[in-house]
Amino acid sequence: MKKIESHKVPKLDKPERLSDYLPGIFKAVSTRKGIKKAIARRRVQVNGTTGRSSKYISGGEEIVLLESKAELKKPKIDLEMEVIFEDDHLAIINKPPGIIVSGNKLRTVENALPTLLQPSSEVDALIRPHPAHRLDFPTSGLLIIGKTSKCVTALNLLFEKREIHKTYTAITIGKMKDETGHIDAPILKKSAITDYKRIKMTPSEKYGELNLVELYPVTGRRHQLRIHMYDIGHPLLGDSAYFKEGLQSRGNGLYLHASRLKFQHPIVDQLIEVEAQLPAKFNKVFSDTTLSHAKSQSEEE
């Protein structure tokens, strides 16, 4: 296996276990959990021999981190997707509907990333770019991809601190009394919060009214937006899981699109704001809903 990084251990005051010493040493794998996995998968060598978690080191040892065989064996596919933004640390793509982000299937966003994105020149570049979050199978729109170990860790922290601001555009069913709203309703006993704003409405013979809405998730539970809008009586058009009897739309998929992202680049001191054009099917319901062309904007603080 190819060597990714190497480290010469300085003289230590007292011997330390390999698994205790290594966290924070390598850029490509910096966490304690990641180091334990790397050691278990025989990716760590000490003085040319396979390292073990229980091995004590005292100074002078040459420790090497090897590339992952498992990552190299994963399939790669060609899949046409728009790259909205890309640098050496991260990328943002426009995911089409009807494809899963990752999993055991061949046709996934993750398997397309090695051929879609440019390789990172950073020392801690990942063998394969890694999606930093998920979008449901039927949902389209903006998806953030980490290209380095450091950036993936930093993006995870931004999500935990709720500092990545996401806007979804959707079409909902039924007459909405309020133009704006705040939904605070747990999902599977976990806190779930969504804000929404109705942009416009149009009469519908089948549905009474259809609404173009923007959804602003504060938390990120599975199916949160779909569940919350269903719970307040306004399920999303085309939703096959959460719908009112007799009002299920078939044939055009789910009308839910991750349309805007705003966050501070976790590595470079830049504000990232991106927008992805709405799918054409939205314009068949609301003729002038097209967002401005997909764009990326970076500004120094």
Higher pLDDT, 229 or 243: 229
Confidence of residue 200 (pLDDT cuts 50, 70, 90): very high
Query: What residues make up the domain containing 27?
Result: 3-71
Q: And the tokens for 60?
A: 């002078």
pLDDT, mean of residues 282-293: 69
Confidence of residue 45 (pLDDT cuts 50, 70, 90): very high
Helix (H, G, I), strand (E, B) or coil at 110: helix
pLDDT, mean of residues 109-133: 92
Residue 11 inside a domain? The answer is yes
Residue 10 inside a domain? The answer is yes
pLDDT over threshold 70, residue 298: no
pLDDT score for 24: 82
pLDDT score for 20: 93
Residue 205 inside a domain? The answer is no
pLDDT over threshold 60, residue 279: yes
Task: Dump pLDDT digits (tens) for 62-108.
Answer: 999 887 776 667 888 999 999 999 999 999 999 999 999 988 899 99
| Overall number of domains in the chain | 1
Confidence of residue 248 (pLDDT cuts 50, 70, 90): confident
pLDDT, mean of residues 185-193: 96
Higher pLDDT, 233 or 3: 233
Nearest residue to 169 (alpha-carbon basis) of 9, 282, 55: 282
Give the whole-number percent of the chain exceeding pLDDT 70. 92
Any bridge partners for residue 100, and if so which?
108
What is the CATH classification number for the domain harbouring 36?
3.10.290.10
Distance CA 118, CA 70 (A): 21
Higher pLDDT, 297 or 3: 3
Cβ–Cβ under 8 Å, residues 144 and 132: yes
Q: What is the DSSP string of 134-195?
A: ---TT-EEEEEEEEEHHHHHHHHHHHHTT-SEEEEEEEEES--S-SEEEEE--BTTB--EEE
Residue 89, Ramachandran bin (φ over 0: left; ψ between -120 and 50: alpha; else beta): alpha
Residue 8 inside a domain? The answer is yes
pLDDT score for 144: 98
pLDDT score for 153: 84
pLDDT over threshold 60, residue 256: yes
Confidence of residue 253 (pLDDT cuts 50, 70, 90): very high
Higher pLDDT, 7 or 149: 7
pLDDT score for 193: 98
Residue 58 inside a domain? The answer is yes
Torsions phi, psi for 283 (to 5 deg): -75, -15
pLDDT score for 169: 98
Encode burial over 144-180: b for 16+ CB neighbours within 10 A, e otherwise. Answer: bbbbbbbbbebbeebeeeeebebbbbbbbbbebeeee
Please compute Rg for the chain using Cα positions: 23
pLDDT over threshold 80, residue 1: no
Residue 229 inside a domain? The answer is no
Distance CA 182, CA 38 (A): 44
pLDDT over threshold 70, residue 289: no
Distance CA 161, CA 50 (A): 38
Mean pLDDT of the chain: 89
pLDDT, mean of residues 169-184: 95
Residue 136 inside a domain? The answer is no
- Only one residue has tokens 């040493």, namely 25
Give the whole-number percent of the chain exceeding pLDDT 90. 71
Q: Which of 7-21, 87-101, 278-292 has the lowest mean pLDDT?
A: 278-292
Residue 26 inside a domain? The answer is yes
pLDDT score for 75: 86
